[in-house]
Amino acid sequence: MKHLLFYLSLFCSLGIQAQTLLPLPVQQQAGNGTFALDRRYKLVSNLKGEDSKYIKEQVAMLMGSPQSTAQAQPRGVIMLRLNPGGSAAEGYKLNVTTDTIRIEASTAAGIFYGIQTLRQLEQQQRIPCTEIADSPRFVHRGFMLDTSRHFWSKEFIKKQIDALAYFKLNSLHLHLTDSEGWRIQIKKYPQLTDETAYRPLINHSQWIDGGRKYCKKGTPGAYGGYYTQKDLKEIVAYARSRYINVIPEIEIPGHSHEVMQVFKNLSCTGQGDGFDLCVGNERTFKFLTDVLKEVISVFPSKVIHIGGDEATMLYWKKCPKCIGLYNRMNMTDTTQIQGYIISRIDSFLTANGRRMIGWDEILDGTTLSPQALVMSWRGEQGGIKASQMKHHVVMSPSKFYYLDHYQDKPETQPKAFGGYSPLEKVYTYDPVPAELKGTDAEKYIDGIQGNLWTECVETSSHAEYMMYPRLLAIAETAWGTKSSYADFRKRVLSMESYLRSKGYNCFDLNRETDTYKTETAK
């Protein structure tokens, strides 16, 4: 309530500029006058190395005018000060007067976010005088893009990275492998992309009904593609310059139909049947560790996603190798077969200086290493259980944060996977479960993530339509300072205009026909 009253009073004093801030800052005080951007300026900064380069590019984009030379007297000063320990990680302090802009932060990311706030405040080359102290609620503020069900160009991904950064999101999770196509070049196993990166049908349902067939690149009508390691390193570097971490996902042990079509001996039948890798086959682990070594060489992320969801376990129950493993390890439940492979991959990643993260099924049938993270998608229970076990958690319950769900009445919308998650539902959801509030386990909720699965999403315009503006609700929730939904909606309408001016396709909130009824995540 205090934040809401403070913001309402602030809105009255700042006028139209306040409508443009998203996410809202923690504290803000309005000043008098404006700082004009259409003039020569002097940049004073103690940032060094790559951070200095990245930030200078952002300042130049904001100012739209050159720095002063020795011969030209500056008419404005921009001061960027890195002060380790001076504020919360990724937080910043911003002060704008008529002749000076000052940003102070403990990290370069904080400086970057201060500049994004300036970009949002700017109108007609002027920034209102103001003082802001700001920092995020969560350390993980993410978006996942499914590149397997449908393939997305490198340029499309970079475009979305720009939007993520503008709204202070800091994690891009790429779902790179699934039954519909293997999308990452693995130099040791070129067959993966040679044989399963393309398929004869773009439509997902038709592809399934047609027997899940793949084809070679160049086949008439072939659809698909993959990212070379060079492509992915370029994406990682682009994201890094916007303080976004790229998390790769290699899906195991389920969702692996494509792998077993290439290496049939990794299936329980030896014929490529089913969707789950044969856990009783030691060759499976050789394959996976080989793949993960190359993934680690491409992605500097300290966190590697291994999937772990929706294993059918059907063939494990009658596979001689899996039954042998079951008996040798004195297992009492089939889920322990999944637990065995998850535990071994967890140990491998730990030994290689990385942390494993997976969907909440990774909690089943094993004891995870202390550093393993859990992404809770089947409601809140996985997140509650994991945090109470002192595992760090990213909340991503499908009922609220799956962006492949309908956002209005289905008959008015393009095809979606199902569900109903309009903007208000996404915005008003509190990702910290009531059971955890005020307990020690609450501190293990690292953040939240919106996920765009793409079974029903074939085009870039459709993908953006599903992302925006719901991703803005996730961004403000992740940053932490929230207003009423009515106020948020007004700011979203302003941001939709901005996004369209930059070439993004948004769901038109002005045409929303349905109203949301409260429901829980459970």
pLDDT tens-digit map of 121-166: 998 899 999 999 999 999 999 999 999 999 999 999 999 999 999 9
Q: What is the mean pLDDT of residues 238-266?
A: 98
Residue 4 banded pLDDT, cuts 50, 70, 90: very low
Torsion of CA 319, 321, 327, 331, to 10 degrees: -70
Q: Which of 41-45, 235-239, 366-370 has the lowest mean pLDDT?
A: 41-45
Q: What is the mean pLDDT of residues 234-253?
A: 99
Identify residue 415 by its one-letter amino acid code. K
Identify residue 292 by its one-letter amino acid code. L
Q: What is the pLDDT of residue 38?
A: 78
Residue 40 banded pLDDT, cuts 50, 70, 90: confident
Residue 108 banded pLDDT, cuts 50, 70, 90: very high
Please determine, for residue 225, whether its predicted confidence score (pLDDT) is greater than 50. yes
Q: How far apart are CA 455 and CA 466, in angstroms?
A: 13
Number of neighbouring beta carbons within 10 Å of residue 322: 23
- Digit-coded pLDDT (tens) for 453-505: 999 999 999 999 999 999 999 999 999 989 999 999 999 999 999 999 999 99
Determine the longest span between alpha carbons in the chain, in angstroms.
81
Q: What is the pLDDT of residue 15?
A: 46
Rounded to a whole number, what is the distance in angstroms from the first to the last CA of the chain? 26
Residue 279 banded pLDDT, cuts 50, 70, 90: very high
Q: Which residue(s) pair with 307 in the sheet? A: 252
The residue assigned the tokens 């205090």 is 2
Which residue out of 195, 234, 310, 512 is catalytically annotated?
A: 310
Task: Reply yes or no: is the peptide bond before residue 253 cis, omega within 30 of 0.
Answer: yes
Q: How far apart are CA 348 and CA 296, in angstroms?
A: 11
Specify the pairing of strand 355-359 against strand 405-406: unpaired
* Cα 474 from chain centroid (whole Å): 10
What DSSP line would sit under 275-306, residue for residue? SS--TT-HHHHHHHHHHHHHHHHH---SEEEE
Torsion of CA 248, 245, 430, 391, to 10 degrees: 70
Q: Based on the number of CB atoms within 10 Å of its own CB, is 42 exposed (0-12), middle (13-18) or buried (19 or more)?
A: middle
- In percent, how much of the chain has pLDDT > 70? 94
- Digit-coded pLDDT (tens) for 302-360: 999 999 999 999 999 999 999 999 999 999 999 999 999 999 999 999 999 999 999 99
Contact partners, residue 159, CB within 8 Å, separation at least 6:
503, 504
Number of neighbouring beta carbons within 10 Å of residue 390: 11
Q: What is the pLDDT of residue 487?
A: 97
Taking a C-beta distance cutoff of 8 angstroms, is the pair 386, 361 a contact?
Answer: no
Average pLDDT, the chain: 94
Please determine, for residue 10, whether its predicted confidence score (pLDDT) is greater than 70. no
Taking a C-beta distance cutoff of 8 angstroms, is the pair 491, 36 a contact?
Answer: no
Specify the pairing of strand 92-96 against strand 100-105: antiparallel
Q: Greater confidence, 122 or 9?
A: 122
Indicate yes or no: pTM above 0.85. Answer: yes
Q: What is the pLDDT of residue 304?
A: 99
Specify the pairing of strand 77-82 against strand 100-105: parallel
Nearest to 152 by CA among 202, 94, 102: 202
Q: What is the pLDDT of residue 64?
A: 76
Q: What is the pLDDT of residue 47?
A: 96
Taking a C-beta distance cutoff of 8 angstroms, is the pair 406, 419 a contact?
Answer: yes
Residue 65 banded pLDDT, cuts 50, 70, 90: low
Q: Count each helix (H run) and each strand (E run) in the chain, helices first.
A: 17, 20
What DSSP line would sit under 52-97, residue for residue? HHHHHHHHHHHH-SPBP-SSS--S-EEEEEE-TTSSSTT-EEEEE-
Q: What is the pLDDT of residue 63?
A: 85
Which tokens belong to 450? 């919106």
Nearest to 177 by CA among 196, 162, 163, 190: 196
310 catalytic? Reply is: yes
Residue 325, H or E segment:
helix 320-328
Domains of the chain: 2-134 (3.30.379.10), 140-504 (3.20.20.80)
- Digit-coded pLDDT (tens) for 421-454: 999 999 999 999 999 999 999 999 999 999 999 9
Please determine, for residue 223, whether its predicted confidence score (pLDDT) is greater than 80. yes
Taking a C-beta distance cutoff of 8 angstroms, is the pair 433, 379 a contact?
Answer: no
Q: What is the mean pLDDT of residues 406-431?
A: 96
Identify residue 338 by its one-letter amino acid code. Q
Backbone Cα Rg of the chain: 24
Residue 7 banded pLDDT, cuts 50, 70, 90: very low
Q: Based on the number of CB atoms within 10 Å of its own CB, is 389 exposed (0-12), middle (13-18) or buried (19 or more)?
A: middle
Please determine, for residue 13, whether its predicted confidence score (pLDDT) is greater than 60. no
The residue assigned the tokens 């590019």 is 57
The residue assigned the tokens 């939904």 is 485
Q: What angle do CA 402, 405, 408 make, to 5 degrees?
A: 130
- In percent, how much of the chain has pLDDT > 90? 89
Which tokens belong to 307? 């999937």
* Cα 364 from chain centroid (whole Å): 24
Q: Based on the number of CB atoms within 10 Å of its own CB, is 518 exposed (0-12), middle (13-18) or buried (19 or more)?
A: exposed
Q: What is the pLDDT of residue 75?
A: 76
Nearest to 325 by CA among 297, 285, 290: 285
Q: What is the mean pLDDT of residues 84-101?
A: 93
The residue assigned the tokens 């201060």 is 114
Please determine, for residue 95, whether its predicted confidence score (pLDDT) is greater than 80. yes
Number of neighbouring beta carbons within 10 Å of residue 297: 11
